Amino acid sequence: MATQYYEFKPYNVGRWIVWGFFALILFLAPKVFTSSLSVTMLSQMGIAIIACLSYNMLLGQGGMLSFGHAVYSGLGSYMAIHALNMVSKGTLPIPVSLLPIVGGFAGLGFAVLFGFVTTRKAGTPFAMITLGMAELVFAMSLMFSEFFGGEAGVSGNRVVGQPFFGISFGPSTQVYYLIAVYTFVCVALMFAFTRTPLGRILNAVRDNPERVEFIGYNTQRVRYMAFIISGFFAGIAGGLGTILFEIVTAEVVGAHRSGAYLLFTFLGGATFFFGPIIGGVLMVLASVLLSELTKAWLLYLGLIFLFMVMYAPGGIASLIMMNLRVASFGFLRKLWVSYLGLAVSALVLLLGAAVMIEMVYHLQLNAAMGPTLRFVGIDLNTQSLDHWFGAIFVLLTGLGLFELCRRHYQHDWGVIQEDIEKEIKRRETL
């Protein structure tokens, strides 16, 4: 008789706690961060989370690198805003809160259409095809102005019809809660997907597409279906964006948006389910806050991405999980000195680099404003040689210190991994 083993048994309570906690955060967030900027950012985060999770269905779960995911979220946005305008005119009697579903089905429809051609190939050709498709759609957006609204885009008004129990979606907090509900439901659905046969076979396709054919599954069909489902959720994200911004312009299907999905999903971590959630939050923080802080934000982003690919290809999520694993064996205490060293030297390095970058950017972009600029509380003068040398000195010092700390850390980490292996073997014999 086979032993009964329920997959979630040790974590059943944990599961409810995690999801409950998630719902709680969603509920309380705007009460803690009350400024209107915060609420808008939180709303954007909800949308970004759905978009990045839908993207990771392809990247992390299916091994499909797409350079054109914004096509589906963007087309979902466009369909949603046209639907919104129809609702305003009275030709479409659906509540505004159901508009994201319209976006979802738009995304699904286009994924069915484009995906048929796109998923014929895998790997690098697939990536190039998605790139070509994205360019195609973006170029078409400039050609067909009835649907895409030309340069000005298409705008709408989400406050439409009778308020329902006082909900008119005028105030931004109401929009936030609508987005929060959708976020919770979509995250739950996408998580559930990973627990279904198709979800698991999709993982198998990622790991070994050829073998999958020999266990009875048509690999191309699996990819196509995943593509369609991913397009559905992307469309929902797009629809929510329509409600939030009330205007849709061609950039929603543009290469920058697709690139951002890729970048931040990868940064958050494609190998764990919650990675893209981190990625979505970061995406909003970077584009709203970081871009205000410094003009060089895209450069920083590119550099961070580069280093992530080289040293932490599993993203932030994998870094967290690796350390959690170490912590679960009780060894995390041994690393804190290394981490401290790394953090301090990284800060020094960052300071030096940032000062230099900021000064160069200032020279390039704000030269008319004179040679002085203020950066993180320091007055800098681009014409002062001292400042330049100072910055270079700090940069090099930071680099040297960081390299020292990194080696020390690597050594410590290696020792700890060995200790963990020994501990595992010891437990196996019990």
N residues, the chain: 430
Q: Which residue's CB is nearer to other proteins, number 231 or number 241? A: 231
Q: Which residue's CB is nearer to other proteins, number 222 or number 243? A: 222
The nearest distance, CB 5 to other proteins, in angstroms, is 7
Residue 65 pairs with which residues in a beta bridge? none
User: Alpha-carbon distance 100 to 81, whole Å?
Assistant: 10
The nearest distance, CB 30 to other proteins, in angstroms, is 33
What single string gives the DSSP state of each residue in 252-266?
Answer: GGSHHHHHHHHHHHH
The nearest distance, CB 145 to other proteins, in angstroms, is 6
SS3 state at 154: strand
Quote the crossing angle between the two packed helices 99-118 and 70-89, to the nearest 10°.
140
SS3 state at 381: strand
SS3 state at 237: helix
Q: Which residue's CB is nearer to other proteins, number 46 or number 352? A: 352
The nearest distance, CB 397 to other proteins, in angstroms, is 21
Amino acid at 293: L
The nearest distance, CB 166 to other proteins, in angstroms, is 36
Q: Which residue's CB is nearer to other proteins, number 163 or number 302? A: 302
Q: Which residue's CB is nearer to other proteins, number 44 or number 141? A: 141
Q: Which residue's CB is nearer to other proteins, number 178 or number 353? A: 353
To the nearest 10°, the Cα dihedral for 290, 186, 225, 214?
Answer: 90
Q: Which residue's CB is nearer to other proteins, number 160 or number 198? A: 198
Cα 177–Cα 179–Cα 180 angle in degrees, nearest 5: 60
Half-sphere exposure of 318 (CA within 13 A, CB side): 14
The nearest distance, CB 3 to other proteins, in angstroms, is 7
Please state, as a whole number, how many other Cβ atoms lie within 10 Å of the Cβ of residue 185.
12
The nearest distance, CB 332 to other proteins, in angstroms, is 22
Handedness of CA 402, 403, 406, 411 (dihedral sign): negative
Structure tokens at 178: 């609508």
Q: Which residue's CB is nearer to other proteins, number 214 or number 336? A: 214
The nearest distance, CB 208 to other proteins, in angstroms, is 5
Residue 49: Cβ-neighbour burial (10 angstroms; 0-12, 13-18, 19+): buried
Report which of 226, 428, 423 is spatially closest to residue 329, judged by C-alpha positions. Answer: 423
